[in-house]
Amino acid sequence: MSRLQGILDEGPVRPKKSLGQNFLADPVYLRKIVDAADLSPRDVVLEIGPGTGNLTEHLLARAGHVVAVELDPRMVRLLEERFAGNPRLTLVHADILATDIGQLLRPHLARALVYKVVANLPYYVTSAVLRLLLEAEVRPVLAVLTVQWEVAQRICARPGAMSLLAVAVQWYAVPRIVTRVPAGAFTPAPKVDSAVLRLETRAAPPVPVADEALLFRVARAGFSQRRKQLRNAVSAGLGIPPEQAEAMLRAAGVDPKRRAETLSLGEWAALANVLAAGGAPKP
Protein backbone atom coordinates (compact mmCIF):
# COMPACT_ATOMS: atom_id res chain seq x y z
CA MET A 1 0.00 0.00 0.00
CA SER A 2 2.90 2.38 0.76
CA ARG A 3 4.19 2.36 -2.83
CA LEU A 4 0.85 3.45 -4.24
CA GLN A 5 0.28 5.97 -1.48
CA GLY A 6 3.65 7.50 -2.25
CA ILE A 7 2.62 7.98 -5.86
CA LEU A 8 -0.77 9.42 -4.98
CA ASP A 9 0.63 11.83 -2.43
CA GLU A 10 2.28 13.73 -5.27
CA GLY A 11 -0.06 16.58 -6.17
CA PRO A 12 -0.42 16.00 -9.95
CA VAL A 13 -1.92 12.53 -9.56
CA ARG A 14 -4.16 12.86 -6.54
CA PRO A 15 -7.34 10.77 -7.02
CA LYS A 16 -10.27 12.73 -8.41
CA LYS A 17 -13.55 12.25 -6.61
CA SER A 18 -15.41 13.44 -9.70
CA LEU A 19 -14.02 10.46 -11.64
CA GLY A 20 -14.79 7.97 -8.89
CA GLN A 21 -11.11 7.14 -8.50
CA ASN A 22 -10.52 4.54 -5.80
CA PHE A 23 -7.44 2.52 -6.69
CA LEU A 24 -7.23 -1.12 -5.65
CA ALA A 25 -3.89 -1.56 -3.91
CA ASP A 26 -4.10 -4.82 -1.96
CA PRO A 27 -2.12 -7.49 -3.87
CA VAL A 28 -4.31 -10.27 -2.48
CA TYR A 29 -7.37 -8.95 -4.30
CA LEU A 30 -5.42 -7.99 -7.40
CA ARG A 31 -4.36 -11.63 -7.71
CA LYS A 32 -7.92 -12.83 -7.12
CA ILE A 33 -9.17 -10.64 -9.97
CA VAL A 34 -6.55 -11.94 -12.38
CA ASP A 35 -7.11 -15.55 -11.27
CA ALA A 36 -10.84 -15.17 -11.95
CA ALA A 37 -10.11 -14.07 -15.52
CA ASP A 38 -8.37 -17.37 -16.40
CA LEU A 39 -5.81 -15.54 -18.51
CA SER A 40 -3.36 -17.09 -20.94
CA PRO A 41 -0.80 -15.72 -23.43
CA ARG A 42 -3.44 -16.13 -26.16
CA ASP A 43 -5.82 -13.63 -24.55
CA VAL A 44 -6.43 -10.01 -25.49
CA VAL A 45 -7.63 -8.08 -22.44
CA LEU A 46 -9.49 -4.80 -22.37
CA GLU A 47 -8.82 -2.95 -19.13
CA ILE A 48 -11.13 -0.04 -18.37
CA GLY A 49 -9.75 2.67 -16.11
CA PRO A 50 -6.27 1.32 -15.30
CA GLY A 51 -5.49 4.29 -13.06
CA THR A 52 -2.03 3.87 -11.57
CA GLY A 53 -1.47 0.52 -13.27
CA ASN A 54 -1.48 -1.88 -10.32
CA LEU A 55 -3.92 -4.26 -12.02
CA THR A 56 -2.31 -3.61 -15.41
CA GLU A 57 0.98 -4.99 -14.11
CA HIS A 58 -0.69 -8.26 -13.09
CA LEU A 59 -2.54 -8.51 -16.42
CA LEU A 60 0.63 -8.05 -18.44
CA ALA A 61 2.24 -10.90 -16.52
CA ARG A 62 -0.38 -13.36 -17.81
CA ALA A 63 -2.18 -12.07 -20.92
CA GLY A 64 -0.89 -11.84 -24.46
CA HIS A 65 -1.88 -8.21 -24.92
CA VAL A 66 -3.60 -5.55 -22.81
CA VAL A 67 -5.54 -2.62 -24.25
CA ALA A 68 -5.95 -0.13 -21.41
CA VAL A 69 -8.43 2.75 -21.81
CA GLU A 70 -7.92 5.64 -19.39
CA LEU A 71 -9.89 8.91 -19.24
CA ASP A 72 -7.67 10.88 -16.86
CA PRO A 73 -4.69 12.47 -18.70
CA ARG A 74 -2.66 12.54 -15.47
CA MET A 75 -2.98 8.77 -15.15
CA VAL A 76 -2.13 8.33 -18.83
CA ARG A 77 1.19 10.09 -18.25
CA LEU A 78 1.87 7.99 -15.18
CA LEU A 79 1.10 4.78 -17.08
CA GLU A 80 3.31 5.82 -20.00
CA GLU A 81 6.20 6.21 -17.58
CA ARG A 82 5.49 3.05 -15.63
CA PHE A 83 5.17 0.75 -18.66
CA ALA A 84 7.41 2.57 -21.14
CA GLY A 85 8.50 0.31 -23.98
CA ASN A 86 6.24 -2.63 -23.17
CA PRO A 87 5.08 -3.89 -26.59
CA ARG A 88 2.22 -5.90 -25.10
CA LEU A 89 0.42 -2.81 -23.78
CA THR A 90 -1.67 -0.46 -25.88
CA LEU A 91 -2.58 2.61 -23.83
CA VAL A 92 -5.55 4.64 -25.07
CA HIS A 93 -6.50 8.06 -23.70
CA ALA A 94 -10.30 8.02 -24.15
CA ASP A 95 -13.69 7.80 -22.52
CA ILE A 96 -14.71 4.14 -22.78
CA LEU A 97 -18.38 5.16 -23.05
CA ALA A 98 -17.60 7.15 -26.20
CA THR A 99 -15.35 4.48 -27.73
CA ASP A 100 -16.13 1.97 -30.47
CA ILE A 101 -14.78 -1.14 -28.77
CA GLY A 102 -14.92 -3.24 -31.91
CA GLN A 103 -12.80 -0.73 -33.81
CA LEU A 104 -10.46 -0.31 -30.85
CA LEU A 105 -9.76 -4.04 -30.54
CA ARG A 106 -9.83 -4.97 -34.22
CA PRO A 107 -6.04 -4.71 -34.73
CA HIS A 108 -5.51 -7.08 -31.80
CA LEU A 109 -8.16 -9.62 -32.79
CA ALA A 110 -6.86 -10.55 -36.22
CA ARG A 111 -6.70 -14.24 -35.35
CA ALA A 112 -9.83 -14.65 -33.23
CA LEU A 113 -12.82 -12.41 -32.49
CA VAL A 114 -12.67 -13.04 -28.77
CA TYR A 115 -11.41 -10.97 -25.89
CA LYS A 116 -11.80 -10.57 -22.14
CA VAL A 117 -12.48 -7.53 -19.98
CA VAL A 118 -10.89 -6.92 -16.60
CA ALA A 119 -11.64 -3.67 -14.81
CA ASN A 120 -11.90 -1.93 -11.48
CA LEU A 121 -14.90 0.21 -12.42
CA PRO A 122 -15.81 3.56 -10.89
CA TYR A 123 -19.20 2.95 -9.27
CA TYR A 124 -20.99 5.67 -11.24
CA VAL A 125 -20.32 4.10 -14.66
CA THR A 126 -21.07 0.47 -13.79
CA SER A 127 -24.48 0.21 -15.46
CA ALA A 128 -23.37 2.12 -18.56
CA VAL A 129 -20.26 -0.03 -19.00
CA LEU A 130 -22.26 -3.24 -18.55
CA ARG A 131 -24.65 -2.16 -21.25
CA LEU A 132 -21.80 -1.14 -23.55
CA LEU A 133 -20.06 -4.51 -23.19
CA LEU A 134 -23.07 -6.81 -23.24
CA GLU A 135 -24.94 -5.15 -26.09
CA ALA A 136 -21.89 -4.77 -28.32
CA GLU A 137 -21.73 -6.58 -31.65
CA VAL A 138 -18.49 -8.25 -30.51
CA ARG A 139 -18.86 -9.20 -26.86
CA PRO A 140 -16.15 -10.36 -24.47
CA VAL A 141 -16.17 -14.07 -23.70
CA LEU A 142 -15.56 -13.16 -20.07
CA ALA A 143 -15.61 -10.03 -17.94
CA VAL A 144 -14.20 -9.71 -14.43
CA LEU A 145 -15.30 -6.43 -12.88
CA THR A 146 -14.88 -4.84 -9.49
CA VAL A 147 -18.20 -3.22 -8.63
CA GLN A 148 -20.10 -2.05 -5.57
CA TRP A 149 -21.05 -4.99 -3.33
CA GLU A 150 -24.77 -4.22 -3.36
CA VAL A 151 -24.77 -3.92 -7.16
CA ALA A 152 -23.10 -7.32 -7.52
CA GLN A 153 -25.75 -8.84 -5.26
CA ARG A 154 -28.52 -7.29 -7.37
CA ILE A 155 -26.98 -8.60 -10.56
CA CYS A 156 -26.72 -12.15 -9.19
CA ALA A 157 -30.23 -12.20 -7.66
CA ARG A 158 -32.63 -15.04 -8.30
CA PRO A 159 -36.41 -14.88 -8.93
CA GLY A 160 -37.99 -13.43 -5.83
CA ALA A 161 -35.42 -10.65 -5.63
CA MET A 162 -34.86 -9.80 -9.29
CA SER A 163 -34.41 -6.29 -10.65
CA LEU A 164 -34.37 -4.93 -14.17
CA LEU A 165 -30.57 -4.86 -13.93
CA ALA A 166 -30.51 -8.56 -13.03
CA VAL A 167 -32.80 -9.44 -15.94
CA ALA A 168 -30.67 -7.46 -18.39
CA VAL A 169 -27.30 -8.81 -17.26
CA GLN A 170 -28.45 -12.40 -16.83
CA TRP A 171 -30.00 -12.42 -20.29
CA TYR A 172 -26.53 -11.90 -21.76
CA ALA A 173 -24.26 -13.50 -19.18
CA VAL A 174 -23.98 -15.89 -16.25
CA PRO A 175 -22.88 -13.82 -13.23
CA ARG A 176 -20.99 -15.01 -10.17
CA ILE A 177 -19.51 -13.14 -7.21
CA VAL A 178 -15.90 -14.26 -6.80
CA THR A 179 -15.12 -12.47 -3.55
CA ARG A 180 -16.01 -9.49 -1.43
CA VAL A 181 -13.42 -6.69 -1.38
CA PRO A 182 -13.28 -4.56 1.79
CA ALA A 183 -13.19 -0.80 1.40
CA GLY A 184 -9.77 -0.74 3.07
CA ALA A 185 -8.23 -2.53 0.09
CA PHE A 186 -8.55 0.70 -1.91
CA THR A 187 -6.73 4.02 -1.82
CA PRO A 188 -8.56 6.19 -1.00
CA ALA A 189 -11.06 3.91 0.72
CA PRO A 190 -14.64 4.21 -0.57
CA LYS A 191 -17.56 4.28 1.86
CA VAL A 192 -18.76 0.79 0.94
CA ASP A 193 -17.30 -2.62 0.15
CA SER A 194 -16.91 -3.91 -3.39
CA ALA A 195 -17.16 -7.29 -5.09
CA VAL A 196 -15.22 -9.04 -7.81
CA LEU A 197 -17.94 -10.01 -10.27
CA ARG A 198 -17.32 -12.60 -12.98
CA LEU A 199 -19.58 -12.51 -16.05
CA GLU A 200 -19.38 -15.41 -18.48
CA THR A 201 -21.20 -14.23 -21.59
CA ARG A 202 -23.73 -16.49 -23.25
CA ALA A 203 -23.23 -17.70 -26.82
CA ALA A 204 -27.03 -17.74 -27.26
CA PRO A 205 -30.08 -16.46 -25.34
CA PRO A 206 -30.94 -18.57 -22.28
CA VAL A 207 -34.45 -19.24 -23.63
CA PRO A 208 -36.02 -18.69 -27.07
CA VAL A 209 -37.60 -15.32 -27.66
CA ALA A 210 -39.17 -13.91 -30.82
CA ASP A 211 -38.19 -10.29 -30.19
CA GLU A 212 -35.42 -9.44 -27.76
CA ALA A 213 -36.20 -5.72 -27.80
CA LEU A 214 -39.80 -6.51 -26.89
CA LEU A 215 -38.65 -8.65 -23.97
CA PHE A 216 -36.80 -5.69 -22.46
CA ARG A 217 -39.69 -3.36 -23.15
CA VAL A 218 -42.04 -5.66 -21.27
CA ALA A 219 -39.55 -6.07 -18.42
CA ARG A 220 -39.17 -2.29 -18.11
CA ALA A 221 -42.95 -2.01 -17.94
CA GLY A 222 -43.15 -4.67 -15.24
CA PHE A 223 -40.50 -2.99 -13.11
CA SER A 224 -41.82 0.52 -13.70
CA GLN A 225 -44.08 0.14 -10.66
CA ARG A 226 -42.45 -2.76 -8.89
CA ARG A 227 -44.60 -2.53 -5.76
CA LYS A 228 -47.72 -3.12 -7.82
CA GLN A 229 -49.03 -6.40 -9.16
CA LEU A 230 -47.94 -7.18 -12.70
CA ARG A 231 -51.47 -6.66 -14.01
CA ASN A 232 -51.33 -3.00 -13.05
CA ALA A 233 -47.61 -2.43 -13.66
CA VAL A 234 -47.70 -3.87 -17.18
CA SER A 235 -50.88 -1.96 -17.92
CA ALA A 236 -49.32 1.34 -16.88
CA GLY A 237 -45.95 0.61 -18.43
CA LEU A 238 -47.30 -0.40 -21.83
CA GLY A 239 -50.22 2.02 -21.82
CA ILE A 240 -52.88 -0.67 -22.26
CA PRO A 241 -56.08 -1.48 -20.32
CA PRO A 242 -55.58 -3.63 -17.22
CA GLU A 243 -57.86 -6.29 -18.72
CA GLN A 244 -55.60 -6.61 -21.76
CA ALA A 245 -52.51 -6.83 -19.56
CA GLU A 246 -54.14 -9.55 -17.47
CA ALA A 247 -55.07 -11.55 -20.56
CA MET A 248 -51.51 -11.38 -21.86
CA LEU A 249 -50.07 -12.47 -18.53
CA ARG A 250 -52.44 -15.42 -18.28
CA ALA A 251 -51.64 -16.46 -21.86
CA ALA A 252 -47.96 -16.53 -20.87
CA GLY A 253 -48.74 -18.66 -17.81
CA VAL A 254 -47.99 -15.86 -15.36
CA ASP A 255 -50.32 -15.04 -12.48
CA PRO A 256 -51.36 -11.38 -12.93
CA LYS A 257 -51.13 -10.87 -9.15
CA ARG A 258 -47.41 -11.58 -9.03
CA ARG A 259 -44.78 -8.85 -8.90
CA ALA A 260 -41.95 -8.26 -11.32
CA GLU A 261 -39.15 -9.37 -8.99
CA THR A 262 -40.59 -12.91 -8.86
CA LEU A 263 -40.39 -13.64 -12.61
CA SER A 264 -37.66 -15.77 -14.18
CA LEU A 265 -35.98 -15.05 -17.51
CA GLY A 266 -38.13 -17.77 -19.05
CA GLU A 267 -41.33 -16.10 -17.88
CA TRP A 268 -40.28 -12.71 -19.26
CA ALA A 269 -39.53 -14.43 -22.57
CA ALA A 270 -42.90 -16.19 -22.53
CA LEU A 271 -44.69 -12.89 -22.00
CA ALA A 272 -42.70 -11.24 -24.79
CA ASN A 273 -43.55 -14.14 -27.10
CA VAL A 274 -47.27 -13.77 -26.35
CA LEU A 275 -47.08 -10.08 -27.18
CA ALA A 276 -45.11 -10.75 -30.36
CA ALA A 277 -47.62 -13.37 -31.53
CA GLY A 278 -50.63 -11.15 -30.84
CA GLY A 279 -49.12 -7.87 -31.91
CA ALA A 280 -47.27 -5.72 -29.42
CA PRO A 281 -49.13 -2.63 -28.24
CA LYS A 282 -47.75 0.55 -29.75
CA PRO A 283 -45.77 2.88 -27.49
Residues 133 and 32 occupy one common structural domain: yes
Whether residue 283 lies inside any domain: the answer is no
Residue 82 in this model has a pLDDT that exceeds 80: yes
Residues 153 and 244 occupy one common structural domain: no
DSSP-derived secondary structure letter, 29: H
Residues 50 and 185 occupy one common structural domain: yes
Residues 160 and 227 occupy one common structural domain: no
Domain end residue (candidates: 149, 170, 201): 201
Residues 51 and 15 occupy one common structural domain: yes
Residues 97 and 32 occupy one common structural domain: yes
Residues facing residue 44 across a β-bridge: 65
Domain end residue (candidates: 201, 229, 255): 201
Whether residue 206 lies inside any domain: the answer is no
For residue 85, give the CATH number of its domain.
3.40.50.150
In the structure, what pLDDT confidence band is assigned to residue 86 with cuts at 50, 70 and 90?
very high
Q: What is the pLDDT of residues 241-283, one digit of tens each?
A: 999 999 999 999 999 999 999 999 999 999 999 999 975 454 4
Contacts of residue 120, defined as CB under 8 A and 6 or more positions apart, other chains included, come to 22, 23, 24, 33, 49, 51, 55, 145, 146
The C-alpha atoms of residue 113 and residue 102 are separated, in whole angstroms, by 9
Residue 111 in this model has a pLDDT that exceeds 80: no
Domain end residue (candidates: 142, 166, 201): 201
Whether residue 40 lies inside any domain: the answer is yes
Whether residue 97 lies inside any domain: the answer is yes
Q: Which residue has the higher pLDDT, 213 or 20?
A: 213
Range of the domain at 45: 2-201
- 21-25, 111-115, 166-170, 190-194, range with the lowest pLDDT: 111-115
